[in-house]
Chain A
Amino acid sequence: MSRTFLGMPATPPRAPYGEGNLRGDAAFPRAAEGELRNEQLRRNLGRATHTIRAKRLAVTGELPDWEQLRDAGSALKTDTMNRLPELLEELERKVTERGGTVHWARDGVEANAIVARLIEATGSDEVIKVKSMATQEIGLNEHLESRGITPYETDLAELIVQLAHDKPSHILVPAIHRNRDEIRQIFLKEIPGVDPSLDAVPAHLAAAARAYLREKFMTTKVAVSGANFGVAETGTLSVVESEGNGRMCLTLPETLITVMGIEKVIPRYQDLEVFLQLLPRSSTGERMNPYTSMWTGVTPGDGPQEFHLVLLDNGRTAALADKVGRAALHCIRCSACLNVCPVYERAGGHAYGSTYPGPIGAVLTPQLAGMHAAKDDPNSSLPYASSLCGACFDACPVKIDIPSLLVELRHQKTEQSGTTPEKLAMKAAAGVMKRPKLYTAAQKAAGLGRVLGGRDGTISHLPPPFSGWSDSRDTPAPPRQSFRAWLASDEGAATLQGAADEGARQRAAAHDDPEEQR
């Protein structure tokens, strides 16, 4: 090995604190408590997640090579992350060759500034938008409004959320926390010139939104989109969607600005074969999404004549530097993990405080934005917002081992938290458990805890931090005797001998009478 000290590269930056939508106001447990009381949300979430689960299982189960597709998706993502720099440069080269312009944004602040400058250069003070996680993540709409530019969300659910001055609560179904009466009220209040007799029939609500949006599509000269995939080999960008609003945004305006997280690059055009099967089946439970748009640079006389691609880092390189955590960058934003997550199903998306909720959000958000940026950073509670049940890992189309990532991030949290009461308790517990004699003595002491039990042998009230537990659960008082004490007793020895003898008798009887064989 070389003796020359080559130096270590500086730690890549996280998404800047206080910018964008990657950090909530409160830690998860407290944020969730408010949401848990929202009966409407609980009902909607329960219904929606169960419906999507069933659809997803049907369309993934019907493919004989589903597991191989997942393996392929996982391998492609691993390969991509291993050579991300060269693939991004290849993408830049190809997009430029085909008449597009590529911009590199270190973080959300830079990306917002670039997009605003590009819009201002067109002379327009409004833009139409197709649903995009990346622009939600960086708070682009808020930034554009501060610069006097009006963004119009064109995805129906995103439009509802925007008109309500609200935040999305689900990656795929952003307005899942609203019912149709609420939506009617929002439309009546916020859509200019809407028919005042509008009722809450879903088709009528959709028609009101359509009439409003059609006019925007026909008159707005600039569009902003995200990207599901960016193909390095050809410079092709792709957006998949269900409503056709994306197709309108991507084809009608004169200028198209696409903001893409750098992890969305894929090596080859052929790789779309894998992802375009994995994504819709995992996401909406459809065999194919209704609209798949692909474009490569600028095509003279057809579609936007100016195309800009903004490549966004915003903490992704920092995540890539973590050899365990980087797997979170494999995510293709299908939301399957949200829909199977028992915690997400109860707490809802807002409790996570981030554009990215659910299991993937709990591992992605702390890596993009950090979880030690301030004292009691709400993001440090996210890796704990899981019972580690593993349903997310099973559902993930690119096999991200989310439970292992959660455990890893929990470790990073405790490593950086200094001395806490919890750490002292954990050290004390390990200190007892690594000394068998002390452990046995502690078991005997625990047996004394029987006095805490009521007549039925259960404990119904515990002090903090266990009071949340005892609010809805009884705890059994410790038994009279530990297992090891029983085993060492005459009773224990006699019982095991008796069991061995009974087994021997059973086997002998079975040997004598094959009819009785068990």
Chain B
Amino acid sequence: MRIGLFATCLGDTLFPDAVKATAVLLARLGHEVVFPPEQTCCGQMHVNTGYQREPVPLVRGFAEQFGDAAIDAVVMPSGSCAGSVRHQHEIIAERYGDRALRAAVTTVKAKTYELSEFLVDVLGVTDVGAHFPHRVTYHPTCHSLRMLRVGDKPLRLLRAVDGIDLVELPEADSCCGFGGTFAVKNAATSSAMLHDKVGHITGTGADICTAGDSSCLMHIGGGLTRIKAGTRTLHLAQILAATRTAPYAPTEAVR
């Protein structure tokens, strides 16, 4: 399969290891990974903060970069960016776009996937040949859970990882308090939510808290390092990319 990899602006700029892992994993599974070079951002932050005119060029850019019929599927290591493409791009195109943009958005939306749903639903794999001998707990991010409805797909992928010690996170489905600009605009309420999430995570005794979104992991990780917790965050793709021959090795700063 020819897969167009969308790095997401956050992944490309701040969390490249999660995107590298996604590319490595898809290549290992025997697929051709292409990176349309002019991709930037899906515009989610704009839309969620109330700005719908400004992201029109971003929506158009995404559709142009990935609309190519030679790309069979568009995959991204982010539930919220996939949610934006699938649920918000149409709203923007409908309101501020033209007929061509509306058509382009519909086309690209139909082949856009978050990583775990692409692996399980499209490729039909749960065991991706990963080896990860650590204690891990999984936080289902809100947009992957309630916007994309990925359900237990990430957990099925994790359960199939060789050597993993997967522990359940209490109140897993409650929001970590990130919500994009929410964490800045309503920092005190967001902190109260983060405090409870971090408490549940450290209570599991896990070495690693994983999720399918670098943004939520940035938030949770920021709370964990602030209290100098023993748990660190790692994107789901990084666990699935790790093997016996190419084990996980932290290269980014501990976060």
A interface residues (Cβ-Cβ under 8 A, vs B):
28-29, 32-33, 36, 42, 342-343, 346-347, 383-391, 393-394, 407, 410-414, 422-423, 426-427, 429-430, 433-434, 436, 439, 443, 446, 453, 456-458, 460, 465-466, 468-469, 471-479, 481-484, 486-487, 492, 495-500, 502-504, 506-507, 518
Contacts and interface: CB of A to CB of B under 8 A. Distances in A.
B27 A500 contact: yes
B192 interface: yes
Interface in B155-194: 173-175, 177-194
Given A29-B189, A346-B189, A347-B189, A469 B184 contact: yes
A426 B181 CA distance: 11
B111 interface: no
B107 interface: no
A347 to B, nearest CB: 5
B50 A430 contact: no
Contact of A457 (B35, B47, B173, B253): B253
Interface of B: 7, 9, 11-17, 19-20, 23-25, 27-30, 33, 35, 37-41, 43, 45-52, 54-55, 57-58, 61, 88, 127-129, 142-143, 145-147, 173-175, 177-195, 218-219, 221-223, 225-226, 241, 243, 245-246, 252-255
Contact of A466 (B35, B47, B184, B226): B184
A182 B135 CA distance: 46
A469 B182 CA distance: 10
B187 A469 contact: yes
9 contacts: A346-B189, A387-B179, A388-B180, A426-B49, A426-B54, A471-B187, A474-B225, A500-B30, A502-B245
A394 B61 CA distance: 32
Contacts of A427: 54
Contact of B193 (A387, A457, A507): A387
A32 B186 contact: yes
A423 B37 contact: no
Contact of B252 (A479, A498, A504): A479
A384 B182 CA distance: 7
B184 A474 contact: no
A469 B20 CA distance: 28
A460 B15 CA distance: 18
Contacts of B49: 410, 414, 422, 426
Nearest to A446: B13
Contact of A434 (B23, B61, B177): B61
A14 to B, nearest CB: 20
A476 B253 contact: yes
Given A387-B183, A456-B253, A518-B129, 5 more contacts: A453-B253, A476-B253, A483-B20, A486-B16, A487-B35
B24 A496 contact: yes
Question: Binding site of A, secondary structure by majority: helix, strand, loop or mixed?
Answer: helix
6 closest cross-chain pairs (CB), A and B: A468-B187, A457-B253, A387-B179, A410-B50, A473-B222, A390-B146
A221 B58 CA distance: 65
Contacts of B241: 499
Contacts of A481: 16
Given A460-B226, A502-B28, A502-B246, A472 B195 contact: yes
Contacts of A387: 142, 175, 177-179, 182-183, 190, 193
B115 to A, nearest CB: 14
A412 B95 CA distance: 13
B194 A391 contact: no
A388 B14 CA distance: 23
B255 A476 contact: yes
A327 B248 CA distance: 48
A29 B226 contact: no
A481 B7 CA distance: 14
B246 A496 contact: no
B184 to A, nearest CB: 5
Given A32-B188, A433-B40, A458 B255 contact: yes
Contact of A473 (B40, B41, B186, B194): B194
A483 B189 contact: no
A469 B178 CA distance: 10
Contacts of B55: 430
A433 B183 contact: no
A476 B252 CA distance: 9
Nearest to B188: A33
